[in-house]
Amino acid sequence: MKVTLSQENDISVISIEGSIDGKTAPLVRQEMYPTLETAMRVVLDLSKVDYLSSAGLRLLLLVYREFAAKQGKLVLLGVSEDIQTVMSHTGFLNFFKLAGSMPEALQAVS
What pLDDT is recorded for position 54? 94
* CB-based contact 60:88 (threshold 8 Å): no
Measuring CA to CA, which residue among 53, 63, 55, 51 is closest to residue 97? 63
pLDDT in tens, the chain (110 residues): 999 999 999 999 999 999 999 999 999 999 999 999 999 999 999 999 999 999 999 999 999 999 999 999 999 999 999 999 999 999 999 999 999 999 999 999 99
Exposed / middle / buried, residue 9 (Cβ in 10 Å: 0-12, 13-18, 19+): exposed
CATH code for the domain in which residue 22 is found: 3.30.750.24
Q: Could you give the number of structural domains in the chain?
A: 1
Q: How many residues in the chain?
A: 110
Torsions phi, psi for 37 (to 5 deg): -65, -35
Model confidence, pTM: 0.94
- 37: containing domain: 2-109
* CB-based contact 46:78 (threshold 8 Å): yes
